[in-house]
Structure 1
Amino acid sequence: MKDSGFFQEFEVFSKRSDTSPLQYQFSLLAPNQELALIMAQENFMRREPVADLWVVKRSDIRKMSVEERQSLKRLDNKDYRNTKGYGYLKKKWRKYEQEMLDEKEILSWGGKPSND
């Protein structure tokens, strides 16, 4: 995207603390990067505390092309790498328990108990 006119588009990101992740906040128009940072501070820091503020020229942000995104898709089946948890075990255990023989059933096979 070619810059047209005096103002350029900038994207503003912030961090609430040193350990928190960067979060997108808003876009703004400014003539240069220094003024964009000052405008971001004036607009944003009045509302909430900030540990760090990033201002990036929109034209410097590059996203992946359609072809590049296609290359991210897995070419072969590697579903075994994606964990789904162990929720299926309850169902499997219930089925196993239903197939097990219980003590009463086994004793019933012998007929009447003998009184020796």
Structure 2
Amino acid sequence: MSEKNTNGSGFYEVFEVFSKRSEKTDMQYQFSLLAPNHEMALAMAQENFMRREPVIDIWVVKRSDIRKLNEEEKETLKRLDNKDYRTAKGYGYLKKKWREYEQGMLDEKEILSWGDDKNASNRKRTTS
């Protein structure tokens, strides 16, 4: 998986360059470059960045050192179907259910029945 330049000499290797603008920002991919070794790649990346914008950190990584997941490993990243309870959208129906519950408790018949109970208790007091 070692990548060399296209002229076939094998002297240069491909490096990937990442930079960070401030302490609060993340590292961002910038570009690829060809260099004979890590030290030269770092010097080339610094020269390229120091002319354009201020940065607080630069990472230079040999492309052949970067490993990606194979197809079998990618399959392990897929979510199982029964994990909806872990996402916020799984509880979206609760607001509607709660509203229906509250409205069901205070329907018109129930409110009117409160008035009937008070009148009945008042009538009992006056008659006794």
TM range (shorter): 0.7 to 0.9
Is 2:22–2:56's contact at 8 Å kept on the other side of the alignment?
yes
TM-score normalised per structure 1: 0.74
1:87/1:75 CA distance change after superposition, 3 Å: closer
Aligned AA for 2:88?
K
Superposed, 1:37-116 pairs within 5 Å as 37-74=42-79, 77-80=82-85, 82-84=86-88, 87-102=92-107, 104-107=111-114, 110=116
Conserved 8 A contact 2:15-2:35? yes
* TM-score relative to the length of structure 2: 0.68
Q: 1:12 aligns with which of 8, 12, 17?
A: 17
- Identity over aligned residues, as a percent? 66
Please identify which structure carries the higher helix content. Answer: 2
Alpha-carbon deviation of 1:28?
Answer: 1.1
Write out per-residue CA displacement over residues 15-41 of structure 1, whole angstroms, 9 at most, x where no aligned residue: 223453222111111222111111111
Query: Which segments of 5 or more consecutive residues in structure 1 lack a partner in the other structure?
Result: none
State the distance in 1 between where 2:79 and 2:114 align. 56
Report the 3-state secondary structure (helix = DSSP H, G, I; strand = E; otherwise coil) of the residue aligned with 1:13. strand
* In 2: Cα distance, 1:75 partner to 1:84 partner: 16
Greater length-normalized contact order (CA 8 Å, ≥ 6 residues apart): 1
RMSD between superposed Cα atoms in Å? 2.7
Where does the alignment leave 5 or more consecutive residues of structure 2 unmatched?
Answer: none
Shift of 1:105: 3.3
